[in-house]
Amino acid sequence: MKPPVVRARPADPAALGPAFHSPGSRVGGKERRGSGAWLPAKAAAFGPGATRRPRLGGGRGGRRPGGSSAMGSRSSHAARIPDVDSLRRETGFSQASLRRLYDRFQALDRTGKGYLSRLDLQQIGALAVNPLGDRIIDSFFPDGSLRLDFPGFVRVLAHFRPVDEEEEGNRDPKEPEPLNSRMNKLRFAFQLYDLDRDGKISRHEMLQALRLMVGVQVTEEQLESIADRTVQEADEDGDGAVSFLEFAKSLEKMNIEQKMSIRILK
């Protein structure tokens, strides 16, 4: 049980692609927080009762140095999306989808800085009321980066591209799994639970997730018992936590390809 669990971890950022790291490095050492410092902050953000993230200041600070360098991409027309071809290959999106997403990306980027900050995403109205909204926004900003550029944006959304069975059939087995594969879809959901990124959903993390999703009327004690049972249900090796493999196994009967796809992202 253990080794796969450990392996699932590094696979996660790898699946999201290297570009996720680049914005963070561009920001410079001043803005960039070490992952060690970041993780506790993040965990705290999801602590009981904490709904608003305390990192808005950091996001705002990051905008200034990035602003000037990104100005060029702002003026580009939708047809001139940077790296269209490689993005298409990587994500499987059609040209039209990419163009639409690029328009959306630019619309979200209100100040025209060429990348999205957390604030940009947080200002999407419905996302604020989504119980998982914060976590989903977080998944756009892996490893504590503060900027989301277009390739990163598209790569996250590529998880929700419907699975094309034919395409799946002729896929070269040597190629990396496409972003919208079942496992990657699951991995996306998994990392919403796994706040401390240790590759396991601990009981505590489960409890936090449940607290977000279950109505207020359920008492804390009841929540705990639900969390207990949920973890135990999926936990196979008895470590009191749900690893990614256990997570995937608990959902093996579910049609993830279908449930985690959005038609318009074809």
Residue of 54, 25, 26 lying closest to 38 (CA atoms) = 54
**Could you tell me how many residues of this chain bind another protein (CB under 8 A)?**
59
The Cα–Cα gap between 115 and 106 comes to: 8
- Give CA 224 to chain center in angstroms: 26
Contact between 230 and another protein (CB under 8 A)?
yes
Residue 78 contacts another protein per CB under 8 A: no
Please say which residue, 146 or 206, places its beta carbon nearer to another protein.
Answer: 206
Could you say whether residue 126 binds another protein (CB under 8 A)? Answer: yes
d(C-alpha 198, C-alpha 144), whole Å: 15
Q: Based on the shown chain and the rule CB under 8 A, indicate whether residue 261 belongs to the binding site for another protein.
A: yes
Q: Should residue 75 be labelled a site residue for another protein when binding is judged by CB under 8 A?
A: no
Binding mask 180-199 for another protein (x = CB under 8 A): --------xx--xx------
Angle formed at CA 53 by CA 52 and CA 57, multiple of 5 degrees: 120
**Cβ at position 172, least distance to another protein in Å:** 25
H-run or E-run covering 186: helix 182-193
Residues 6+ apart with CB under 8 A from 41: 33, 54, 55
Q: Least distance to another protein from the beta carbon of 136, Å?
A: 4
Q: Could you give the dihedral angle defined by the CA atoms of residues 123, 129, 134 and 136, in that order, rounded to the nearest 10 degrees? A: -90
Using the contact rule CB under 8 A, the part of the chain among 20-28, 37-45, 57-65, 133-141 near another protein is: 133-141
Q: Should residue 131 be labelled a site residue for another protein when binding is judged by CB under 8 A?
A: yes
Q: Which stretch binds another protein (CB under 8 A): 2-10, 17-25, 42-50, 244-252?
A: 244-252
Binding segment for another protein among 20-28, 32-40, 48-56, 257-265 (CB under 8 A)? 257-265
CA dist., res. 141 & res. 113, Å (int): 16
Residue closest to 91 by CA, chosen among 143, 16, 145: 16
On whether the CB atoms of residues 139 and 91 are closer than 8 A, the answer is no
Residues that bind another protein (CB under 8 A): 101, 104, 107-108, 121, 124-127, 129-133, 136, 140, 157, 160, 162, 188-189, 192-193, 209-210, 213-215, 217-219, 221-222, 224-226, 228-230, 232-234, 236, 238, 240, 247, 249-251, 253-254, 258-265
